[in-house]
């Protein structure tokens, strides 16, 4: 149900205002993004991130890279300026369709629709770099955990995993109910999420200690954790991991 809801929300956002959904600048709502300006932000962000990652990990220029939660390809296209084989994956098919129309790099870039809770479409040890920014925060925590484990599986020995994720969640209006949830209450919540406000993005998080534990269990070493400001006022971090050579996952 959680994956279905996430998929539904992002498909509707992709049809209504896809560029703002990817990069939610308040001044660009209602389809105000100019395409050239939009993709230029991706190049600027990726240039900074890849320079940082390469300062910590040696990555081949002809390497294979995954942009997880690629949307319309804002960052995927930019990654193709640094690597020869780039893949973008997203849960929303309309996003993938738009991303393909914006591809400027031919068969060096591939986009994949992935409406499932894992990354089974990719084999083990497949990517030199797994990259994900302002994506995991819009996925329910139970799914985040599974995708992080998949990152460990599909990263090649010696490869890197770089992502951003809040560690605190927004406050909820109601933290508890005096009564156990009834079937009618569950139905009302479902209607509110899917009909009354079907395009509301969720903001989610995973505690830093839990993130580190997932990677430790999969024998992936942490290189650096840095404060991130893209999800303010939430506490958020960027994580850089490296899979050791010869690790058995």
Cβ partners under 8 Å of residue 37, min gap 6 = none
Give the tens place of pLDDT for each residue, 15-53: 999 999 999 999 999 999 999 999 999 999 999 999 999
| pLDDT for the residue numbered 61 | 86
Confidence of residue 232 (pLDDT cuts 50, 70, 90): confident
Q: At the topology level of CATH, where does 2-169+177-237 sit?
A: Rossmann fold (3.40.50)
Report field, pTM of the whole predicted structure over 0.85? yes
Please determine, for residue 248, whether its predicted confidence score (pLDDT) is greater than 70: no
* Mean pLDDT value of segment 157-181: 73
pLDDT above 90: percentage of residues in the chain = 80
Find the DSSP H helices in the chain. 2-16, 18-22, 35-56, 74-79, 93-101, 141-154, 183-191, 208-217
Tell which residue, 136, 135, 138, 127, has the closest CA to residue 60.
127
| pLDDT for the residue numbered 172 | 55
Please determine, for residue 182, whether its predicted confidence score (pLDDT) is greater than 80: no
| pLDDT for the residue numbered 41 | 98
* Mean pLDDT value of segment 100-127: 98
* Mean pLDDT value of segment 55-81: 97
Give the tens place of pLDDT for each residue, 90-102: 999 999 999 999 9
* Mean pLDDT value of segment 229-241: 93
| pLDDT for the residue numbered 58 | 95
For the chain, give every domain's residue range.
2-169+177-237
Please determine, for residue 83, whether its predicted confidence score (pLDDT) is greater than 90: yes
Tell me how far apart the alpha carbons of residues 168 and 59 are, in angstroms, rounded to a whole number.
32
Burial 68-93 (b: 16+ CB within 10 A, else e): bbbbbbbbbbbbbebbebbbbbbbbe
Distance (Å) of CA 46 to CA 41, 170, 236: 9, 27, 18
| pLDDT for the residue numbered 189 | 53
């Amino acid at each position: 149900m959680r994956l279905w809801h996430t998929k539904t929300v992002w498909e509707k956002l992709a049809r209504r205002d896809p560029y703002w959904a990817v990069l939610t600048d308040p001044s660009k709502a209602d389809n105000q993004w100019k395409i050239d300006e939009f993709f230029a932000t991706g190049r600027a962000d990726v240039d900074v991130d890849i320079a940082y990652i390469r300062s910590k990990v040696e990555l081949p220029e002809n390497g294979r890279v995954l942009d997880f939660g690629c949307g319309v390809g804002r960052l995927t296209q930019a990654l193709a300026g640094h690597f020869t084989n780039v893949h973008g994956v997203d849960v929303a098919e309309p996003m993938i369709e738009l991303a393909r129309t914006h591809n400027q790099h031919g068969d060096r870039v591939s986009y994949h629709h992935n409406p499932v809770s894992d990354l089974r479409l990719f084999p083990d040890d497949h990517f030199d770099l797994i990259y994900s920014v302002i994506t995991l925060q819009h996925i329910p925590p139970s799914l985040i955990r599974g995708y992080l484990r998949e990152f460990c599986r599909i990263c090649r020995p010696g490869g890197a995993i770089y992502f951003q994720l809040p560690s605190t969640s927004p406050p909820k209006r109601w933290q508890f109910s005096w009564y156990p949830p009834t079937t009618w209450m569950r139905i009302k919540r479902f209607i509110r999420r899917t009909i009354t406000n079907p395009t509301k993005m969720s903001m989610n998080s995973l505690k830093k200690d839990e993130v580190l534990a997932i990677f430790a269990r999969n024998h992936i070493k942490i290189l650096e954790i840095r404060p991130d400001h893209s999800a303010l006022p939430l506490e958020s971090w960027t994580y850089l991991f490296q899979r050791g050579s010869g690790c058995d996952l």
